[in-house]
Amino acid sequence: MKADSIIKELSGWKVAPNLKDYNEARASFSWDAVRRDLDGLPGGGLNIAHEAVDRHADGARRYHVALRWIDRAGAAHDYTYGRLRALTNRFANALRSLGIEPGDRVFVLSERIPELYVAALGTLKHRSVFCSLFSAYGPEPIRTRLALGRGKVLVTTERLYRRKVKQIRRTLPDLKHVIVVGNEGTTPGGSDTIDFHRLLSSVDEAFTIPPTDPEDAALLHFTSGTTGTPKGVVHVHAAVIGHYATGRLVLDLHPDDVFWCTADPGWVTGVSYGIIAPLVAGVTMIADQEEFNAERWYGLLQDQRVTVWYTAPTAIRLLMKYGERVAGRYDLSGLRLLTSVGEPLHAEAVWWSVKVFGHPIHDTWWQTETGSIMIANFAAMDVRSGSMGRPMPGVEAAVIHRKKGGQIKPVQEPEATGELALRAPWPSMFRAYLDDQARYQDCFVGDWYLTGDLVRRDRDGYFWFVGRADDVIKSAGHLIGPVEVEQVLMEHPAVAEVGVIGRPDEVAGAVVKAFVSLKPGYEVDEALRLDLRAHARKRLGPVVAPKEIAFQPVLPKTESGKIVRRLLQAQERGSTEANRSHLDEPNEAEEP
Amino acid sequence: MNEEAIKTGVLRVLTRIVPEAQGEQIDPDVTFRDQFDIDSIDFLNFVLTLEKEFDVHVPEVDYPRLGSLDGSVAYLSSLLTAKVK
């Protein structure tokens, strides 16, 4: 059996890590000092886009490549910091010309193309709020999020507009402008849309970021909960302090790095680390238009001489399926640091990485709400394979139990399971759930933010992920709320009841599975199963829709008639617990 | 097996994994991902089901060749021809 630790030799580094001694870094760390490292706006205040673009464009890194975009065909297109400043200035001016105000929400629904990055940073310059939607969402999740966020502007592509937006547009009265990126020479969206490139060329290239309060809203991300509609997580410009600090200490970014975050900006990782953190660090970041493809990915790592890589366990498990031989055909010696996020990274994957890349993968943990990495395996710290790592300097993490009456009690003894709590505040902590103050306050007890993740902490202070405290499904690193899926299945005329859970899956971690009972008059058959899946996939998009549907006459319920998802879970695992179809109302999680 | 039969088999598998493709106009040279937003899990299931349907083994490195209808038919044709020989 292999040792469970990968011991780091603290000498002979190709590049000396920014964090060399974990304990020392923790002891000397202060968020104020990080803030002082940043530029700040010339007229006062703090704006993410200034730190990410303008301060480099104004200085020595003006001609350094900020974004290297790889198109579908594999060709690289470079955007220097100077060029990025000009384009994002134009986008900010374009918003102004359309009468968009600071604080208004600008949504983007797009695959990874340069216009997405320009829109994101231009929106921040204008002090509007940027919200990116995953381009594989179906019309329903898109409509829900645009409506909840009262999006005033949507930037999208011709193809996505035609397939997903046109049909829902009249249900969105707040949506004033749809800006469409068309293929050259074709007519985008039609007369009720604005051509992205024509718009940008019609406005000025100079723009001065107005004074920005660090507490001004900057980013909106939607995340899923167990109940009700998706939650709009609001982050402010001060979050950049967290992006910068973690970029330095966890991703260990150095000026000459080529950094590749494979996450799509439709998810929080793709914004915090696929746009902001690398640019604030002034490095070159890679964005690939194409989706996962093992040989393309190895090829990119090799040809672009990627030095720091941030990816996800599902991708790593897919690469593992391709085997070591494929990896062996590529020169991956440029890679210095591999990191991962999205779901627990199993020890097996860490060891595979050591074999194939010559380095372990360093798992990190954080959430949409935390805004930046909170717990990590650091480059200069021994890796406990399978562990989340240790808290980022400046972050205090605890294991707690919830008690009756809403109190919490810290768990001191090592190895005991409890809920992960983080001491508030930190710069990138979310400041609100959109229009839901009560739900926001429920996340805090005293000055602790309760994460909803169950963990244990070992004797040496490494945290280990145990599971979710709620019913939220983590599939391929994406959080999926069961209710959103259940609601769409309930629209189908054949469905009487439905309960949605995550079924453990070798590659995705979990896949969405729906248990359905049918209305009288409907027969269980393959055609109906396909019809239900087609319905869900069309409305929700394949990422959110169930991969599997099981029919059963009765679903386990509480006395009050609520479907108990954890009994469906247990049933899936084959536990006898599920044989009881009725049970008492479950109590809130209590101190065991 | 001729190309037409292979195409029918591919479409049968596709509509099992991607049921919303049923009755849709399928662009034979555009990837399934671009037409239906299928994710990597769908694609993996698609390939594994094709393997069963046609009783063949597809090495992982060849997976990308099965990304579109034309690609799948061409790839499976060559594989099945080689198998017969």
Sequence ranges of the domains in chain B: 3-84
3-state secondary structure of A485: helix
Over residues A245-262, mean pLDDT: 98
Over residues A95-104, mean pLDDT: 98
**Tens of pLDDT along A205-231?**
999 999 999 999 999 999 987 777 899
For chain A, the residue count is 592
A108 vs A36, A151, A188, A273, CA distance in Å? 32, 10, 16, 17
Those residues with Cβ within 8 angstroms of residue A578's Cβ, 6 or more apart along the chain or in another chain: A556, A567, A568, A570, A571
**Given an 8 Å threshold on Cβ–Cβ distance, is B60 in contact with A323?**
yes
Residues of A in contact with B20 (CB under 8 A): 533-534, 537-538
Answer whether residue A192 shows pLDDT above 60.
yes
Residue written as tokens 């592509």? A157
3-state secondary structure of A317: helix
Domains and CATH numbers, chain A: 6-19+32-454 (3.40.50.12780), 473-583 (3.30.300.30)
CA–CA separation, B35 and B20 (whole Å) = 11
Pick the residue from chain B with its C-alpha nearest to A532.
Answer: B19
Q: What is the pLDDT of residue B85?
A: 64
> Which residue of A293, A531, A541 is in closest CB contact with B64?
A293
**Given an 8 Å threshold on Cβ–Cβ distance, is B33 in contact with A291?**
yes
> Above 0.90 for ipTM, yes or no?
no
Q: Strands across the sheet with A217-223, in order?
A: A194-195, A177-181, A153-157, A105-109, A129-133, A217-223, A231-236, A432-433
Lowest mean pLDDT among A142-146, A242-246, A476-480, A542-546: A476-480
A325 vs B55: which has the higher pLDDT: B55
A572 vs A155: which has the higher pLDDT: A155
CA–CA separation, A215 and A86 (whole Å) = 26
**Residues of A near B (CB-CB distance < 8 A)?**
135-136, 138, 291-296, 314, 318, 321-323, 326, 475-476, 505, 507-508, 511, 530-531, 533-534, 537-538, 541-543, 547
Answer whether residue A234 shows pLDDT above 90.
yes
Structure tokens at A377: 């395996």
DSSP assignment of A90-133 equals: HHHHHHHHTTPPTT-EEEEE-SS-HHHHHHHHHHHHTTPEEEEE
Structure tokens at A54: 């303008």
Q: What is the pLDDT of residue A1?
A: 36
CA–CA separation, B7 and A424 (whole Å) = 58
By C-alpha distance, which of A113, A145, A111, A112 is closest to A129? A145
CA distance B33 to chain A (A): 9
Average pLDDT, chain A: 91
Residues A266, A134: contact at Cβ < 8 Å? yes
Residues of B in contact with A547 (CB under 8 A): 41-42, 45
**Given an 8 Å threshold on Cβ–Cβ distance, is B20 in contact with A538?**
yes
> Which residue of B36, B40, B61 is in closest CB contact with A292?
B40
Residue of B13, B20, B46 to mutate for A, most A C-beta atoms under 10 A: B20
Span B3-84: which CATH code? 1.10.1200.10
Answer whether residue B9 shows pLDDT above 80.
yes
CA–CA separation, A518 and A494 (whole Å) = 6
DSSP annotation of B59: -
Where in A446-492 does DSSP place strands (E)?
448-457, 463-468, 473-475, 478-480
Q: What percent of chain A has pLDDT over 70?
A: 95
Structure tokens at A277: 């953190």
**Given an 8 Å threshold on Cβ–Cβ distance, is B15 in contact with A530?**
yes
CA–CA separation, A198 and B11 (whole Å) = 41
**Given an 8 Å threshold on Cβ–Cβ distance, is A326 in contact with B61?**
yes
Strand partners, A409: A401
Amino acid of residue A545: A
**DSSP alpha helices (H): ranges in A399-542?**
437-442, 482-490, 526-540
Q: According to the 3-state scheme, what is the secondary structure of A431-442?
A: CEECCCHHHHHH
Answer whether residue A582 shows pLDDT above 50.
no
Q: What is the pLDDT of residue A573?
A: 82
Q: What is the pLDDT of residue B82?
A: 84
pLDDT level of residue A188 (50, 70, 90 thresholds): low
Q: What is the pLDDT of residue A8?
A: 81
Residues A497, A555: contact at Cβ < 8 Å? yes
**Given an 8 Å threshold on Cβ–Cβ distance, is A533 in contact with B19?**
yes
Residues A469, A419: contact at Cβ < 8 Å? yes
Lowest mean pLDDT among A36-40, A185-189, A276-280, A429-433: A185-189
A414 vs A409, A458, A466, A591, CA distance in Å? 15, 5, 14, 16
> Which residue of B19, B36, B41 is in closest CB contact with A508?
B41
Over residues A464-492, mean pLDDT: 88
Strand partners, A419: A400, A454
β-strand A361-365 against A308-311: which pairing, if any?
unpaired
By C-alpha distance, which of A259, A314, A311, A307 is closest to A281? A259
**Given an 8 Å threshold on Cβ–Cβ distance, is A542 in contact with B18?**
yes
**Tens of pLDDT along A419-461?**
999 999 999 999 999 999 999 999 999 999 999 999 999 999 9
**Given an 8 Å threshold on Cβ–Cβ distance, is A547 in contact with B20?**
no
Lowest mean pLDDT among A21-30, A321-330, A421-430, A542-551: A321-330
CA–CA separation, A516 and A486 (whole Å) = 9
